[in-house]
Amino acid sequence: MSFLKIDGVTMQFGGVTAIDNLSFEVEKGMIYGLIGPNGAGKTTIFNIITGNLYPTEGKILLESNNITGTKPNKIVYKGVARTFQNIRLFKSMSVLDNILIGFDAQAKYSYLEAIFRLPRYFKQEKFIDKKAKELLEIFGLTEFADSKATDLSYGVQRKVEIARALATNPTLLLLDEPAAGMNSNETSDLADIIFKIKDKFNLTVLLIEHDMKFVNKMCDKLTVLDYGEKIFEGKPADAIVDKKVVSAYLGDFSHA
C-alpha cells in the first residue's frame, strides 16, 4: 500500500495545462525525487499536496485518506510539512525562535491556560523548548541559536527552515530544492542530515532538486516531469541514461 498517492492529477490555469494527468506513488520511508526542467510543474505538485492549489482533476491520498484541497493551515495536522524554493524565515527572529514557531501545532494547552500561565502551559513550554534544542543539535545549529536567522549563510538558513518544518512533527516532509545555493561540503552535510532525520523521525520524504549528484545519492526512486507530463519513473541510475530525460533535462549531467 502506498503512503502518498498522486492519482490522475491535472492542473490547468486558464488555457494552460501545468500538470497533465499525473500519477505516481511513494512508499512509506522512501526518499522520492521529483525532477525536471524549470516550469515542468514540480512546485505546482507541492502546492496541490499542501492545499495551496486545488487540482482541476484528480486527488491526493495520504495513507489512503483523501487530503485533496485540505487548507494550508490544516494540512500540518495531517502530518505534512514543507520547505520552499525561496527560503521563508522570520527575519526579526532568532534561529531558536524560528524553530519554536514550528511547534505551535504540537502545543497541548488552551489559550486560557496560556493567558493565565497555568501549570500545563509551563510544562508544555518546557517540553517544546527541550525539543527545539534537540533539533538545533541534530542540525548543527546550537551555536547559532540566538543569532538572527537571516544574518546567517544561505546553507545555514536552509537547515533552519528544514528544522522548523520538522518541528511540526510531520510524517511526510516535502523539500523544495533543499540543496540550492549550497557548496559541495554543505550539500554533503545536508544529505547526511536528511538520512539521519528520515530514520530518527520515521519520515517519508518527497524532494524537488536540480543537483543530480544529490538526487542520485538521496533518492530511492524518482519521477521526471517535462511540461507537466511524466516522462520517466524509476531509479535515478536509470533516469540519467534515459533518452527522453537526457533530452528534456539532464543534458551534460547524463554522465554524472
For 186-216, what is each residue's pLDDT tens digit? Answer: 999 999 999 999 999 999 999 999 888 899 9
Same domain, 117 and 57: no
Same domain, 160 and 175: no
Same domain, 227 and 113: no
Same domain, 227 and 199: yes
pLDDT at position 6 over 80: yes
**Residue 221 binned pLDDT confidence (cut-offs 50, 70, 90):** very high
**Number of Cβ atoms within 10 Å of the Cβ of 186:** 17
Round to whole Å and give the CA distance between 128 and 106. 8
Same domain, 151 and 194: no
Same domain, 197 and 226: yes
Round to whole Å and give the CA distance between 91 and 97. 11
Round to whole Å and give the CA distance between 243 and 81. 34
Same domain, 195 and 71: yes
* Boundary of a domain, candidates 125, 143, 169: 169
* Boundary of a domain, candidates 134, 169, 204: 169
CATH number of the CATH domain containing 66: 3.40.50.300
Round to whole Å and give the CA distance between 108 and 210. 39
Q: What is the pLDDT of residue 126?
A: 79
Same domain, 253 and 180: yes
Same domain, 17 and 135: no
- Per-residue pLDDT tens for 152-192? 998 899 999 999 999 999 999 999 999 988 889 999 999 99
Q: Which domain holds residue 91?
A: 86-169
Give the strand pairing for 57-62 and 4-13: antiparallel
Q: In the chain, how many domains are there?
A: 2
pLDDT at position 250 over 60: no
Round to whole Å and give the CA distance between 172 and 28. 9
**Residue 119 binned pLDDT confidence (cut-offs 50, 70, 90):** low
Helix (H, G, I), strand (E, B) or coil at 45: helix
Q: What is the pLDDT of residue 10?
A: 98
Same domain, 160 and 177: no
The percent of residues above 90 in pLDDT, for the chain, comes to: 71
Same domain, 75 and 99: no
Q: What is the pLDDT of residue 115?
A: 59
**Number of Cβ atoms within 10 Å of the Cβ of 55:** 24
Round to whole Å and give the CA distance between 230 and 244. 10
Question: How many helices (H) and strands (E) would you count in the chain?
Answer: 10, 10
pLDDT at position 253 over 70: no
Report, as an integer, the average pLDDT of 47-64: 97
* Boundary of a domain, candidates 140, 169, 198: 169
Same domain, 212 and 188: yes
Report, as an integer, the average pLDDT of 40-65: 97
